[in-house]
Amino acid sequence: MRAFWALVARDIKLAGRLGGGPFVGLGFFIIVVTMVPFGVGADLPLLSRIGPGVLWVAVLLATLLSLDRLFQADFEDGSLDLFLMSPLPVEMQVLAKCLAHWITNTVPLIIAMPAVAFLVNLETGIMLPLIVSLLVGTPSLSLIGALGAALTVGVRRGGLVLSLIVLPLYVPALIFGAAAGTGDLMGTPMLFLGAFSLASLALAPFAAAAALRISVS
Amino acid sequence: MTALLEVSDLACQRGTRRLFDGVSFTLGGGEALVITGPNGTGKSSLLRILAGLLEEEAGEISHDDEMLYLGHLDALKPQMSVMENLRFWVSLFGGTGDLDAALERFGLGHIPDLTAGVLSAGQRRRLTLARFSCFLGGDSARPIWLMDEPDSALDDAGRALLDDLLKEHLARGGVVLAATHRGLGIEAAELRMGELGMGS
């Protein structure tokens, strides 16, 4: 367990020290949300209707932006070889990296969400369900993203391939997430969203670990 | 003497090319094997197969003990300090060695807080060796050391430190497999790649 938390701490530390740190994803998120009123026009009822969906799409894209480095840097400097030989199971390492990715990339977006929500005229009443839906649903984005990142780790400019693999898999999270963001806290969409996150928690680490083992050989 | 590492009839295929086949050897505690041979004859691939990072084409590998691997790349993060890099790898592998003493031993004791990004190639290699020195003995010992050109980029003093480290490891009953072009200053059997009817 000490090794697990050592890996989480290392990835958080590294994320903070990379150029721009967590602010790159955050800035991207804010800009995407800002773009929508420019494109749709100042139709306030329309904006507030599409608001939860827009925020969910923006979170999803901002998450995707940081995913291609999840294993890439470790692959390039030889760390991945050592990871695969370490006593900590590779599946646990994937979990640790996903946890660190979620904390450094997604949590700042959720914290910033109330501040940018006024751009899409979000009703204050659905702020809480939307935040809960993001907390429940976004871990699946990191987990499924880890699978895509593991599959494309040896691919030059794998970021684009990664998007093609991962985005279709994000569709259930987006559908249930945006729906849960408008409904009540324990409604059906929220339960499905939670189920989707749990399913990806159960499956994605094994798939990603298998993909990593293939990638280094 | 019981064997720590037994390899029989190992073969490696990369793409359409058979790199080597029929590689067999047995190493007991305290024994070292130096792997030599021209470039492209499979020295690194042999080490990667033993490390479990590459699939063998044929043959058997048996060992009960834990391994440590040193590849071409140093696995150091340029954004983290010398000490942070060392501490991370040692804790990931459950090592218990004294980190300060390890840095001191390899001539890095005066720069624990320097970011690894500004180290020279030789200093990076020394830091990697410091990592190995944390797994010498005790509960956290990893007896089988696989080293791909451990002497690259090292100066004469660094090579002497490497030889000392390997001798200490062997004296404690460890095993060393090292691919090298210049030879190491330790007693070792030699496996010459590219000669045993391999290739083609």
Give the amino acid at B115: T
A139-167 average pLDDT score: 91
Return the pLDDT at B1.
58
Output the pLDDT for position B196. Answer: 54
Sheet arrangement for strand B17-28: B17-28, B3-14, B58-63
Contact A127, A110 (CB under 8 A): no
Q: What was the pLDDT predicted at B19?
A: 87
pLDDT of residue A182: 82
Q: What is the ipTM of this complex?
A: 0.89
Report d(CA B189, CA B92) in Å as an integer: 32
Query: How many angstroms separate the CA atoms of A12 and B84, rounded?
Result: 13
- Tell me the nearest-neighbour CA distance from B70 into chain A, angstroms: 8
8 Å CB contact of A3 and B73: no
Q: How far off is chain A from B67, nearest CA to CA, in Å?
A: 8
Encode pLDDT of B52-72 as tens digits: 999 888 899 998 888 999 998
- What token pair was written down for B174? 């460890």
Contact B53/A at CB under 8 A: yes
**Given this model, what pLDDT does residue B162 score?**
94
Closest Cα to residue A55, out of A119, A9, A124?
A: A119
Name every residue whose Cβ is closer than 8 Å to that of residue B151 and which is 6 or more positions away in sequence: B158, B159, B162, B180, B182, B184
Query: Following DSSP, what letter does each residue of chain B receive, concatenated?
Result: --EEEEEEEEEEEETTEEEEEEEEEEEETT-EEEEE-STTSSHHHHHHHHTTSS--SEEEEEE-S-EEEE-SS----TTSBHHHHHHHHHHHTT--S-HHHHHHHTT-TT-TTSBGGG--HHHHHHHHHHHHHTTSSGGG---EEEEESTTTT--HHHHHHHHHHHHHHHHTT-EEEEE-SS--SS--EEEETT-SS---
For A79-83, B112-116, B117-121, B187-191, which range has the lowest pLDDT when averaged over its residues?
B187-191
- Compute chain B's Rg from CA coordinates: 17
What are the beta bridge partners of residue B146? B69, B177
Which residues 6+ apart lie within 8 Å of B70 measured at CB?
Answer: B128, B132, B145, B146, B147, B148, B150
Model confidence over B4-30: pLDDT tens digits?
Answer: 899 999 999 888 888 888 899 999 889
Nearest 5 degrees, angle CA B89-CA B191-CA B20?
90
Give yes or no for residue A179 having a pLDDT over 80. Answer: yes
Q: Is the pLDDT of residue B76 over 90?
A: yes
Give the pLDDT confidence of B119-165 residue by residue, as tens digits: 999 999 999 999 999 988 777 788 999 999 999 889 999 999 999 99
Which residue of chain A is at minimal alpha-carbon distance from B49? A217
Of B31 and B138, more confident: B31
* Residue from A161, A65, A156, A52 nearest A113 by CA: A52
- Position A170 scores a pLDDT of 95
A69 φ/ψ angles, rounded to the nearest 5 degrees: -90, 0
Residue A214 contacts B where some CB pair is shorter than 8 Å: no
| A6-61 confidence digits (pLDDT tens) | 999 999 999 888 877 778 889 999 999 999 999 988 889 999 889 999 999 999 99
Q: Is pLDDT of A175 > 90?
A: yes
DSSP, res A86: S
Which of B55, B73, B94 is opposite residue A77, by nearest beta carbon?
B73
pLDDT of B199 strictly over 70? no
Q: Does A20 touch chain B (CB under 8 A)?
A: no
What confidence score (pLDDT) does residue A187 get?
A: 87
| DSSP per position, A121-190 | T--GGGHHHHHHHHHHHHHHHHHHHHHHHHHTTTSTTHHHHHHHHHHHHHHHHHHHHHHHTTS-TTSHHH
Tell me, what amino acid is at A78?
G
Distance from CA of B72 to the nearest CA of A (A): 8
Determine how β-strand B67-70 pairs with β-strand B58-63: unpaired
Residues in contact with B123: Cβ distance below 8 Å, sequence separation at least 6, in sequence order: B108
Whether the CB-CB separation of B124 and B116 falls below 8 Å is answered with yes
Cα separation, B105 vs B99, in Å, equals 10
Which pLDDT tens digit goes with each residue over A88-135? Answer: 999 999 999 999 999 999 999 999 999 999 888 888 888 999 999 999
Residue B198 has pLDDT above 80, yes or no: no
pLDDT at A140 over 60: yes
pLDDT at position B200: 38
| Per-residue pLDDT at B68 | 92
The answer to whether the Cβ–Cβ distance between B53 and A78 falls below 8 Å is no
